[in-house]
Structure 1
């Protein structure tokens, strides 16, 4: 039986691309999203920011599909706002989805991984969590916190056979970026050595590498970003 990978945010964008790539690579893929995910073997509708919903979803996957050997947290939320305009609710929502979602999912799958002394966790961060960005402080802060969590958890569970890493993409061609987003502007694209946005399939291949070949990767942050951050 093929190993089970649980992908959050699997209904669209980067998450959907990751789910498809893993399925092609021989994984049995379960998806967790606010919406049903089409390209997975088992789809669960749940909110990653709600720990009880996540615990129930993971229990459902492990009961109906099998033990979760790999977790990929790709569920995301993006917004631009000047710091002076970020409301308390907007700040909390950004942290709940990104950092809270990672914590909730890791908390649910880690007991089984540690017991089996085998497992992989990859979280989708962002190059903005490394370099920051104008009018993106709450998003950059949440993604930076994800990177800190990944590095700390990686050190904590490596001796148990669990590998934890992050992928920090640059601006990626997904519906999260509006048509008039400054990241799509020709003036910005001209600053990139590759002159284009990342594609979701490129992020997916990076995740696949960490799951399938990254045995010696512990707390790494791989950043496919079209040369935006070198």
Structure 2
């Protein structure tokens, strides 16, 4: 039986990914700040991440879904703490998890890593400079790591959703949500289960000749 860990696993896309992987018979561990998670931790804490990975043991699949929106302000009004917190969770968290699981995947000659980027990482959303920057960094990390592992049996791909109906996006102001939906040709929010279906394919044997790629799931907003 393959074994997976999902970060940000107690709500939204992460929760949907846990349900999808478990439905396919994959032993899946949830990592989240919530005390209800299998491992309650902050992904930006590398020591906590390393302890959890060591305790779990064999990990075949990593889904990096933990993330925060960060400050919804013009760049010149963003304070140091808010900026750093957004990057700590959204990109350093991905780095911490990848660094912890990759050696074991390489040793076994098989692994799948899926990172959660965003359309904001491709296009930039106004008043979300920290979030947009962090998600662009996720794309860069994915491309780099995918190439580093290309002949190892470990595949690394990213997903770039547009606005998805999740608790995280519920924190956005109506004006921000209206702006993002207005750019989606389908004219609606995406669903977490739709993202989880794409995640599952990327985490499966069926995905065999794609690595370092970024997959659009944006209702037609960005197809590049």
Q: Taking structure 2 as the reference length, what is the TM-score of the superposition?
A: 0.94
Q: Which residue of 2 aligns with 1:72?
A: 63
Q: Which residue of 2 aligns with 1:229?
A: 222
Runs of 4+ aligned residues of structure 1 deviating over 4 Å after TM superposition are none
Q: Is the 8 A contact 1:177 1:183 kept in 2?
A: no
Q: CA RMSD in A?
A: 1.5
Q: Is the 8 A contact 2:6 2:64 kept in 1?
A: yes
Q: Is the 8 A contact 1:10 1:37 kept in 2?
A: no
Q: Is the 8 A contact 2:121 2:132 kept in 1?
A: yes
Match of residue 45, structure 2, among 31, 43, 50: 50
> 5 Å matches for 1:89-168?
89-168=81-160
Q: CA distance change for structure 1 residues 93 and 188 in 2, over 3 Å: closer, same or farther?
A: closer
Match of residue 220, structure 1, among 208, 213, 222: 213
How far 1:214 moved relative to its partner?
1.2
Q: Is the 8 A contact 1:193 1:226 kept in 2?
A: yes
| Structure 1 segments unaligned to the other structure (5+ residues) | none
Q: Is the 8 A contact 2:162 2:180 kept in 1?
A: no
Q: Is the 8 A contact 1:82 1:136 kept in 2?
A: yes
Q: Does 1:84 align with 2:76?
A: yes
Q: Which residue of 2 aligns with 1:16?
A: 15
1:197 and 1:222 map into 2 onto residues whose CA distance is 17
Aligned length: 220
SS at match of 2:62: strand
| Structure 2 segments unaligned to the other structure (5+ residues) | none
